[in-house]
Amino acid sequence: MSDSKSLVWDKETIKFATFLFFMYFVQVMNTLPGIPINFMMRSVMKLSQVDAQYLVAATALGWVIKPLWGYISQNFPIFGYRQKTYVVGMSLTASLSWWLLAYFFHTHDIVYIAQHGYWTIFFYFNLGAAAYAFVDVVGDGKMAEEGKKKNIIDALVNFQWIGAGIAGVIVNLLSGYLSDVAEKNFSVYSFIFFIAGFPPLINVALGLLSVKEERATELFPWKRFFGFLFCVGVSVSLLIDQLLLLFFNRHGLISWYFTLPMVYKLFVALSAFMLQACIIYWYSQKPKYYWVISLFLFLWYFNPSVSQASFRYVTEVLKFSGTFLGILGGIGDLFGAIGIVCYFYFLRRYPGVSRKPLLYFSIALGACGLFVSYLYYLPPGYKLFSFIPINFAVVAILSGIFFNLFGAPSVQIPLAVAADISKQGREAITYAWFMSVINFSRITMSDWLGGWFYKSVYDYKIDLASWHFLTWWGGDGSFLADPTRVLILRLFVYISAFFTLLAVPLIWFVTLPERKK
């Protein structure tokens, strides 16, 4: 007699799960230049902490407009396929973007890169991000479709993130080592970009072999395609026109936008995002929980941050090398992968467990993590409880092990919920929308507002040393020539705590779809 589990995990499902595993593996390998780029923005391009953070946020544009990739893949099959051809074509595009950037660095010296490399990096990073995001949309859409059909969404999401965790170990160790080498030898940057172009070729092979898809018999929708190209062409033309106006110091839409106060910029950005939300809600056939889950994902991942300021603090003040940061990231991803495997078996052992208690556990874990992050901003030689000397490297390693080992639910559950409510036949674009909400909240809005707030503290010369809750533990930051630097990082710990605890009433009142046994 056949077993139900063998019916679910048939040969085709295993092949597809393998594709999902390597899709996220390749996606994380995309971050190979991550640590070197942070050092390059500081040492080569001489960007301020805020400008570097704005650049990082801007290069994530391809991930924010993921619903557009979902619309294209669902409506315009190439050679009769809506998935295979896009996976292959966009994976090749991702490789090409890295190789072209490698060529750019190979043919120009450090002075030219420092003066003229900003927009080239912006372009190729966004081209690569768009290509990776396109493959991600196709794979996630197929994951939602197959997972709902066989009630294995949680398992497929786990497979994805195990692949990401294993890749994280490899890429962090390599990235950290290469960052230290590149600091001494500028020519290594072109080598880093060159080898980053090879992992997407894995998706080319697996896209052909592991994605099962029947070839479409209908004719290519040329009229709708040309109409789509016309709309995109008009939008791109307007964008180019506004960029030219901006560069020639004339008044265009973009230059007008950047002259607005932050409150109005925020209003315009959120209005544009809400317009996109309404369009996708209509197009994806008004899925249940759409608005509730969108709000939940936005608030869950929204956390104004100062990632570049933190990076420069740990490298310049705590003296963490690129190699150590790579080892630290590798340890975190290794135990993150172990944690995902444990979480996978936990769900199989207790299939009826509610998602909400796991999210409350994630909030408590996050609160503990914020307490630990505050330790980094204490004076060197500080003794915890007056007798335990703090070793920042040991704190970083132990916290990386602990929080990654138990942090799987905080990542896995929102993704599984988003896949659960995707409307049949619209999985790619619906799931892509929820992922774009995460990216818009976690990267664009968080980094943007964090960078703006960091800059505002210095611009308005706010006296943080007079704020007792920043100085009662660890002093007034006088161990640094610029005490504001450490005080504002402590302040962001409190800001993070506020948004973390904000999730408690959110989970209490929000209706989340539960797992199907």
**pLDDT class of 319 with cuts at 50, 70, 90:** very high
Please tell me the distance from the alpha carbon of residue 248 to that of residue 214, in angstroms, as a whole number.
51
Amino acid at 12: E
- Cα of 81 vs its chain's centroid, Å: 28
448-to-74, 134, 262, 307 alpha-carbon distances in Å = 32, 24, 10, 11
350-to-151, 353, 416, 448 alpha-carbon distances in Å = 15, 6, 16, 40
Residue-by-residue DSSP string for 104-127: HHHTS-HHHHHHHHHHHHHHHHHH
Which residues, listed in sequence order, are joined to residue 81 by a DSSP beta bridge? 78
Residue range 244-273: mean pLDDT, rounded: 60
Please tell me the distance from the alpha carbon of residue 361 to that of residue 500, in angstroms, as a whole number.
12
CATH of domain 10-220+286-509: 1.20.1250.20
**pLDDT class of 517 with cuts at 50, 70, 90:** low
The upper half-sphere exposure of residue 446, i.e. CA atoms within 13 Å in the direction of its Cβ, equals 24
Mean pLDDT, the chain, as a whole number?
82
Out of 22-31, 293-302, 392-401, give the one with best mean pLDDT. 392-401
Please tell me the distance from the alpha carbon of residue 14 to that of residue 255, in angstroms, as a whole number.
51
- pLDDT of residue 99 exceeding 90: yes
| Helix H or strand E segment including 389 | strand 388-389
**pLDDT class of 1 with cuts at 50, 70, 90:** very low
Q: Which pair of tokens denotes residue 246? A: 């901006």
The upper half-sphere exposure of residue 121, i.e. CA atoms within 13 Å in the direction of its Cβ, equals 24
Backbone angles phi, psi at 232, to 5 degrees: -65, -40
What pLDDT does 449 receive? 85
Residue-wise pLDDT tens digits, 334-356: 998 899 888 888 888 888 888 88
**Could you state, in order of their start, the residue ranges of all structural domains in the chain?**
10-220+286-509
Backbone angles phi, psi at 383, to 5 degrees: -110, 120
Q: Is 323 exposed, middle or buried (0-12, 13-18, 19+ CB in 10 A)?
A: middle
Residue 164 vs residue 513, higher pLDDT: 164
Residue-wise pLDDT tens digits, 71-86: 888 778 878 777 888 8
Q: Which pair of tokens denotes residue 511? A: 């209706």
Looking only at the bridges linking them, the beta strands covering 383-384 and 388-389 are antiparallel
Please tell me the distance from the alpha carbon of residue 147 to that of residue 330, in angstroms, as a whole number.
30
Share of the chain above pLDDT 70, in %: 87
Q: Which pair of tokens denotes residue 402? A: 């602990």
Please tell me the distance from the alpha carbon of residue 434 to that of residue 426, in angstroms, as a whole number.
13
Q: Which pair of tokens denotes residue 504? A: 């408690």
Q: How many CB atoms lie within 10 A of CB 329?
A: 23
Q: Please, are residues 362 and 300 in contact by the beta-carbon 8 Å criterion? A: no
**pLDDT class of 145 with cuts at 50, 70, 90:** confident
What pLDDT does 104 receive? 93
Out of 6-20, 149-163, 271-285, 463-477, give the one with best mean pLDDT. 463-477
Please tell me the distance from the alpha carbon of residue 141 to that of residue 213, in angstroms, as a whole number.
13
User: SS3 string of 129-155?
Assistant: HHHHHHHHHHHHHHHHHHHHHHCCHHH
Residue range 430-444: mean pLDDT, rounded: 83
- pLDDT of residue 512 exceeding 80: no
Out of 21-30, 277-286, 396-405, give the one with best mean pLDDT. 396-405
Residue-wise pLDDT tens digits, 211-243: 677 777 666 666 666 666 666 555 555 455 444
